[in-house]
């Protein structure tokens, strides 16, 4: 769709609104107007900024929204308000044209809960916050409730953090096979077995130098998360070496949780789980994504639902403090009935954390490339509509949520847990509450100042081979991290 702006250049804001209504559309800025276009104007009179959107796509509609920006408003806040007017005007035009109100209304962006957290922090009551989400942003009742609950979980986690608290992430970018929806840089172990040991050697060196840096900077590790890929593709002996090195390098006396993603059941066995227990891993994550064999096959998993049941029995026997299971709504070949069976079984299997993702199709995934048939947005909505009351009835509550681009039906990913089983790392990273020091290939280190006003990132090298061959990049990232803290 051709986008034309007058009086602003808020491309990202408009593109997000466009995707919420028309996920197949891609923004175009050059060339002829064509049949599908939107013109979004922003103008100021006194302290009032008014945005007007004219939208043409199989019909025509107009939307308008105004905000007040008093003189002396903080420039960052003023920008946010003007963008809000632009988004709302597009939303009103698109809603008038389509007759559709997306589940998140006019709220766009990765963290819809952030607005609720900001309003609560500014002293608004829960009722006032909910009213604003409803009346200004037209967020559905179910999403308003989730927004408030996750915002409150974020604020509770924030209260417990000190100015020099951080979380540490270690990435293991290997998996047994590549899932059809995956767009991560994950190498199937079969094809890259020879890379695992050199990768581990480079990682051990990074762990040692990062630990020394963190001690020298006087930072406190509050959460540890090992993800990937699938960390449990490492052999038990390799995992033992890595966790031993990690414990030696970092002071973990204030670390409140240690998570390892044991994502694929075909990588789990009692010996590996024993190593995790011996290193005080408190939380493991088993990620079946579905309990339907036909769907597992369609996404390229080389294991069955029975393998997941077996893995969960082993995990239960090892008695971790918390066990997460991930499901995805909208997988190829899945149906609302199949999703219902999957969720019911995860509950029966004893998970106390269940993360419900909505399929997000990124460019590099096999599904996108092969054009596989997928459940439509209505079916995905049906799946999520089942998840919410079912999880609540089982005693779960949502504690973090985020959205991604190209998400089926413009829904969300939500972490649900039993009371007290919140995974702090997920809250820290989603709410940007503290720095995340990321070790290994493919990750990104996020540096957050204690006031959460300054956020900077450095990116690790993506692929295991280049990661092992270019230690100078690791050194440069660590230097950037140290300089960030020295400058505070």
| Residue numbers at the binding site for ligand SF4 (CB under 6 A) | 175, 178-179, 182, 184, 186, 228-230, 263-264
Residue 57 · residue 24 · CB < 8 Å: no
Cα separation, 324 vs 382, whole angstroms: 23
Nearby residues of 330 by Cβ (< 8 Å), 6 or more positions away: 358, 359, 374, 375, 379, 380, 383, 408, 409
Helix (H) or strand (E) run with residue 149 in it: helix 141-159
Give the residue with the Cβ less far from ligand SF4, 154 or 231. 231
Cα separation, 106 vs 431, whole angstroms: 20
Give the residue with the Cβ less far from ligand SF4, 191 or 452. 191
Query: Minimum distance between the CB of residue 363 and ligand SF4, rounded to whole angstroms?
Result: 14
Query: Minimum distance between the CB of residue 317 and ligand SF4, rounded to whole angstroms?
Result: 23
Longest pairwise C-alpha distance within the chain: 69
Query: Minimum distance between the CB of residue 188 and ligand SF4, rounded to whole angstroms?
Result: 8
Which runs of consecutive H residues, i.e. helices, occur in 319-395? Answer: 336-348, 366-370, 377-393
Q: Is the dihedral of CA 195, 198, 201, 203 positive or negative?
A: negative
Give the residue with the Cβ less far from ligand SF4, 8 or 264. 264
Query: Minimum distance between the CB of residue 299 and ligand SF4, rounded to whole angstroms?
Result: 8
User: 61 exposed, middle or buried (CB, 10 Å; 0-12, 13-18, 19+)?
Assistant: middle
Give the residue with the Cβ less far from ligand SF4, 150 or 360. 360
Give the residue with the Cβ less far from ligand SF4, 228 or 409. 228
Give the residue with the Cβ less far from ligand SF4, 112 or 229. 229
Give the residue with the Cβ less far from ligand SF4, 211 or 442. 442
Query: Minimum distance between the CB of residue 481 and ligand SF4, rounded to whole angstroms?
Result: 25
Query: Minimum distance between the CB of residue 388 and ligand SF4, rounded to whole angstroms?
Result: 24
- Going by their DSSP bridges, the two strands 397-402 and 413-417 should be labelled as antiparallel
- Going by their DSSP bridges, the two strands 353-358 and 413-417 should be labelled as antiparallel
Query: Minimum distance between the CB of residue 402 and ligand SF4, rounded to whole angstroms?
Result: 17
Give the residue with the Cβ less far from ligand SF4, 182 or 273. 182
Extended beta strands in 181-275, E state: 187-188, 220-228, 257-261
Nearest in space to 334 (alpha carbons), one of 280, 387, 274, 374? 374
For 100, half-sphere exposure in the C-beta direction (CA atoms, 13 angstrom radius) is: 14
Query: Minimum distance between the CB of residue 263 and ligand SF4, rounded to whole angstroms?
Result: 5
């Amino acid at each position: 769709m051709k986008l034309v702006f007058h009086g602003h250049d808020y491309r990202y804001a408009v593109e997000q609104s466009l995707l919420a209504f028309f996920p197949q559309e891609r923004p175009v800025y050059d060339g002829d107007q064509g049949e599908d276009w939107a013109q979004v104007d922003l103008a100021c009179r006194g302290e009032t900024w008014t945005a007007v959107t004219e939208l043409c796509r199989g019909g025509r509609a107009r939307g308008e929204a105004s905000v007040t920006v008093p003189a002396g408003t903080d420039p960052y806040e003023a920008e946010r308000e003007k963008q809000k007017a632009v988004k709302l005007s597009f939303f009103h035009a698109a809603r008038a044209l389509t007759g559709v109100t997306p589940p998140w209304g006019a709220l766009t962006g990765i963290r819809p809960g952030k607005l609720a957290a900001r309003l609560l922090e500014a002293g608004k009551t829960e009722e006032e916050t909910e009213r604003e989400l409803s009346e200004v942003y037209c967020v559905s009742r179910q999403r308003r409730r989730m927004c408030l609950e996750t915002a409150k979980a974020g604020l509770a986690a924030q209260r417990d953090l000190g100015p020099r608290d951080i979380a540490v992430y270690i990435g293991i970018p290997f998996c047994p096979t590549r899932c059809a929806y995956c767009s991560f840089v994950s190498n199937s172990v079969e094809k890259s077995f020879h890379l695992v040991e050199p990768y581990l050697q480079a990682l051990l060196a990074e762990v040692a130098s990062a630990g020394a840096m963190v001690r020298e900077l006087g930072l406190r590790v509050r959460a540890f998360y090992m993800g990937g890929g699938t960390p449990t593709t490492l052999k038990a002996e390799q995992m033992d070496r890595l966790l031993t090195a990690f414990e030696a390098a970092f002071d973990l006396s204030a670390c409140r949780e240690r998570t390892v993603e044991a994502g694929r059941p075909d990588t789990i066995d009692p010996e590996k789980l024993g190593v995790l227990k011996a290193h005080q891993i408190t939380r493991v994550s088993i990620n079946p994504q579905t309990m339907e064999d036909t769907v597992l096959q369609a996404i390229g998993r080389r294991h069955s639902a029975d393998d997941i049941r077996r893995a969960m029995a082993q995990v239960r026997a090892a008695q971790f403090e918390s066990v997460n299971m991930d499901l995805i709504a909208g997988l190829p070949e899945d149906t609302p009935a199949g999703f219902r069976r999957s969720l019911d079984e995860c509950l029966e299997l004893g998970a106390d954390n269940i993360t419900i993702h909505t399929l997000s199709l990124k460019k590099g995934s096999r599904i996108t490339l092969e054009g596989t048939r997928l459940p439509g947005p209505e079916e995905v909505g049906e799946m999520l509509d089942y998840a919410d009351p079912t999880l609540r009835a089982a005693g779960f509550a949502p504690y973090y949520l985020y959205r991604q681009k190209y998400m089926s039906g413009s829904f969300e990913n939500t972490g649900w847990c039993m009371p007290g089983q919140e995974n702090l790392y997920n809250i820290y990273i989603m709410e940007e509450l503290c720095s995340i020091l990321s070790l290994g290939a493919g990750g990104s280190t996020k540096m957050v100042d204690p006031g959460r006003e300054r956020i900077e990132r450095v990116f690790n090298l993506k692929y295991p081979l280049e990661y092992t061959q270019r230690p100078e990049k690791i050194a440069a990232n660590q230097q950037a991290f140290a300089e960030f803290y020295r400058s505070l």
